[in-house]
Amino acid sequence: MTIAVPGSLGLASEDVRGILALAMAEVSGVRFQVRPDQIELHTGTPHRRESRLACGVALLNVRLALQGHGIRPLVTLLPGPSANDAAAAIRLGGYQEPNPDVLALLHALRTNRRRWTTFPEPASWSGLLSRAAEVERAWLHVRSATELVLCTFNQGAAAEIRAGQAMQRVVLAAGTAGFAVAPAPDPVSLSALRADLRPCLGNTLVPQVVLRLGTG
């Protein structure tokens, strides 16, 4: 049974449905509330860090999908009662043709291009991935030839949502170049990681996610 989705932000119902399906392709625990003038993202467990990271991933996906339709998304994190205490709300910020970078990231999202056959040298990817993190107001620390640490400039719920967006943009940016980046599968103690990286990062950067590079 097809669930009815109303139109929103000037888009028809079928376009909104396609955007949400793309946004949720690899995300769980996040739901959308679609209204004529805004799209809200809600998490079932808003106080869990993992839920906020997942929300950031879904938020980046829907932003890219909206840009692919020529819509400039205006995002408010933790908008409060005006958006039913959503984790994020997206409103219409104008119209703009998608640039080549957006189209490349969308292609990586749609085709799941996250595998490679040869291991690249750091010089070939560090600038690309660092720029992707910086677009989302985050910082990528290269810890080793195969391990990266995604950091934010502050901590808290909004920072964790931003970290999820930055993580997804880094993953997709890697996909545009034909190689794979993914969150570390083993649990990481962020407090221990922060203590370990303090000589490199000082007290201004907050480690959020460990990412690994590897062959498919």
Res 92: pLDDT: 95
Give the span between the Cα atoms of 207 and 216, in whole angstroms. Answer: 26
Give the span between the Cα atoms of 163 and 53, in whole angstroms. Answer: 6
Res 35: pLDDT: 92
Res 2: pLDDT: 47
Res 123: pLDDT: 64
Q: Which two tokens stand for residue 98?
A: 């998608």
Handedness of CA 106, 111, 115, 118 (dihedral sign): negative
Res 122: pLDDT: 63
Q: How many CA atoms lie within 13 A of 150 on its CB side?
A: 33
* Sheet containing strand 181-183, strands side by side: 138-142, 147-152, 206-213, 181-183
Res 141: pLDDT: 92
Mean pLDDT by 10 residues, the chain (216 residues): 72 93 86 93 86 95 96 94 88 94 94 57 79 96 88 94 96 87 81 85 88 71
Q: Is 87 helix (H, G, I), strand (E, B) or coil?
A: strand
Give the span between the Cα atoms of 68 and 77, in whole angstroms. Answer: 21
